[in-house]
Amino acid sequence: MNHNLKDSYISFFIEKGHAKLDSASVIPVNDPTCLFNTAGMQPIVPFLLGEPHHLGKRLVNFQKCFRLTDLDSVGDKTHHTFFEMLGNWSLGDYFKKESITWSYEFLTEKLMIPIEKLAVTVFEGNEFVERDEESAQTWLSLGIPKERISYLPAEDNWWPSLDQTGPCGPDTEIFYWSDTENPAPPKHDPTDNRWVEIWNNVFMQYKRLENGEFVPLSQKNVDTGMGVERVTALLAGVDDNYKTDIWLPIIKKIEDISKKIYDDENYTKSIRIVADHMRAIVMIASDDAGIRPSNTDRGYILRRLIRRMVRYMNQLGVDISTDFETPIVDIIVRQFSSFYEEVHRNKEQVLVVIKEEKDKFAKTLEKGLGEIKKALSKLENGILPGDVAFKLYDTYGFPIELTEEVANEKNISVDLDGFREKVKEHQDKSRVGADKKFKGGLAESNPQTARLHTATHLLQAALKKILGNDISQKGSNITIDRLRFDFNFPRKLTSEEIQQVEDLVNVIVQQDLIITHETMNIENAYRSGAIGVFGESYGENVLVYNIGDFSKEICGGPHANSTRELGVFKILKEESISSGVRRIKAVTHSI
């Protein structure tokens, strides 16, 4: 189904005068703040902004994409790390009527989706920009009932946001009724999760000026996107993405190797994670960018995926010293070779990358699991001692999260307080202000909260770079487990924006920047570019913390000594807490 979907999509839009654009590398060329391309439009941003494209004004493609925001969610029915995005673009050529008409035609005539299963949303308008009646009237003319057309605010149907300067505009989103047991209701309810978004058509028709005025663009663009995995599952009538022909050959091979059954709920999650990660590993390692496992940036992501895959293969009872990966890689390469030539050409380098990293981790995994087994045999109270957890971390490179995961599977808890105490003993005793009272919303002072506090500096700086310099802190709170950061912004962040912020923080973390501070007069601090908390009462002299050239803040401490100490930064949640104020919850964990 997925091969037919991609072929049908490309053929359809070629018939409409589009030129096929090859998928770009997994590495963004036009966005140094992002580790991987997270959407189909990312590689063509310069052309959406007016640069002429050598293939013309109508483009279509499928793009290799990665989103790591939901890595910890992989293992359920719908989340993936690697996915493919279908897209077609008009660079100053056709606009709303043609885009909407062709989307409708493709869905109903090529994919044979009954109109009864479709609903749409359009921009409701506000005091700055009028209601998008053109899109609504086009949908009505195609036969979509008015009850199935929902007018929603800019938070839902505007790209990128109303307060960002530059090209922008309304979008119309297409929804599919996913419930296979009950017919779609006559009226579209945007809050009913059974309506699943399958396609988004963005109409870039305005430019927002610095003074807040919206003026028509001389070049109006169309930017669309549709996810292959989601649409394939919907068309197949299943609520589990892994039960489509995208995944079934991979899963069947994992079943053959492990002698475990996917439908046995004891093994379903592990098989999904292995299948997802193997596919992502092949696509990253086969890219001509030459990404290799390392402790920084993209290499760290590749290393993390391989090690997590190995861990779950081991959990399935597979001897990880064998070449179990080879037949799985063979299947994935066959699936993608006709679409991405580099996957076939670089197959051997994929196998080498996996084997080398697998063998390295196998030794760590074997020794670490041996230590846990030895410790478990001596337990009297069902708790793994903190010093054992620290030895696994310090000697064998076991992240505390992995130790917890292994122990919990055996119904053993971990003495996290004891572990943290051991970490604290080995920390640099010279950290400034670690034993003093300080500002910044920390509940307590220890090495972990110092790392999280440092992460809030990086997070605020990243938000300013991604969302605009008007971002400012509205509150924060840090515990031993997570950071919470509140900031001004008028809408929810898109998944792409969340990923860009997270990736940018991790790029800075891996640069191992030394964190310095100096005492300055408050006026000189502000003149030097330091930022503070609005409304905060500071004394005449303040501490200013610098993280390279990336962040400069007035703060009372404590902080890590260098960004590398933070390990990996992960955004857990982004939500609204009041009108115009958003909240991010995030964590850091050791590599």
Beta-carbon contacts of 191 under 8 Å, excluding residues fewer than 6 positions away, are none
Q: How many CB atoms lie within 10 A of CB 45?
A: 15
Q: What is the mean pLDDT of the chain?
A: 87
Identify whether residues 181 and 309 lie together within a single domain: no
Identify whether residues 182 and 264 lie together within a single domain: no
Identify whether residues 252 and 234 lie together within a single domain: no
Identify whether residues 205 and 311 lie together within a single domain: no
220 in a domain, yes or no? yes
Of all residues in the chain, what percent carry a pLDDT higher than 70? 91
Band of residue 432 on the pLDDT scale cut at 50, 70, 90: very low
Q: What is the dihedral of CA 157, 159, 164, 167, to 10 degrees?
A: -130
Give the pLDDT confidence of 183-214 residue by residue, as tens digits.
999 999 999 989 999 999 999 999 888 888 89
Q: What are phi and psi of 298, to 5 degrees?
A: -65, -35
Cβ 128 vs Cβ 162: under 8 Å = yes
The reply to whether omega before 167 is within 30° of 0 (cis) is no
- Residue 161 confidence (pLDDT): 79
Give the pLDDT confidence of 301-329 residue by residue, as tens digits.
898 899 889 989 998 999 999 999 999 99
Domain boundary among 336, 352, 377: 377
Band of residue 455 on the pLDDT scale cut at 50, 70, 90: very high
Identify whether residues 264 and 292 lie together within a single domain: yes
Identify whether residues 215 and 105 lie together within a single domain: yes
- Residue 313 confidence (pLDDT): 95
Of 125, 190, 185, which is closest to residue 153 (Cα–Cα)?
A: 125
Give the pLDDT confidence of 96-117 residue by residue, as tens digits.
999 999 999 999 999 999 999 9
- Locate tokens 């760590």: which residue? 364
Q: In the predicted model, is pLDDT for residue 296 greater than 80?
A: no
Mean pLDDT for the stretch of residues 168-195: 94
For residue 288, the enclosing domain spans 247-377
Give the pLDDT confidence of 25-49 residue by residue, as tens digits.
888 765 666 788 888 887 887 787 7
Mean pLDDT for the stretch of residues 473-481: 81
402 in a domain, yes or no? no
Which residues define the annotated binding site for Zn(2+)?
453, 457, 555, 559
Domain boundary among 238, 266, 300: 238
The count of domains in the chain is: 3
**Which residue did the predictor score with more confidence, 134 or 1?**
134
Beta-carbon contacts of 569 under 8 Å, excluding residues fewer than 6 positions away, are 455, 458, 459, 502, 505, 506, 509, 586, 587, 588
The whole-model pTM stands at 0.66
Half-sphere exposure of residue 214: CA atoms within 13 angstroms, side-chain side = 17
- Residue 535 confidence (pLDDT): 45
Half-sphere exposure of residue 477: CA atoms within 13 angstroms, side-chain side = 2
Identify whether residues 23 and 164 lie together within a single domain: yes
Domain boundary among 377, 401, 430: 377
Identify whether residues 227 and 291 lie together within a single domain: no
- Residue 434 confidence (pLDDT): 31
Instruction: Name the most confidently modeled range: 125-139, 162-176, 291-305.
Output: 125-139
Identify whether residues 175 and 39 lie together within a single domain: yes
**Which residue did the predictor score with more confidence, 299 or 271?**
271
At 24, which CATH number?
Answer: 3.30.930.10
Rounded to whole angstroms, the Cα distance separating 532 from 521 reads 13
Q: How many CB atoms lie within 10 A of CB 122?
A: 27
Which residues define the annotated binding site?
453, 457, 555, 559
- Residue 84 confidence (pLDDT): 94
Q: In the predicted model, is pLDDT for residue 234 greater than 50?
A: yes
Cβ 303 vs Cβ 293: under 8 Å = yes
At 472, which CATH number?
Answer: 3.30.980.10
Identify whether residues 197 and 319 lie together within a single domain: no
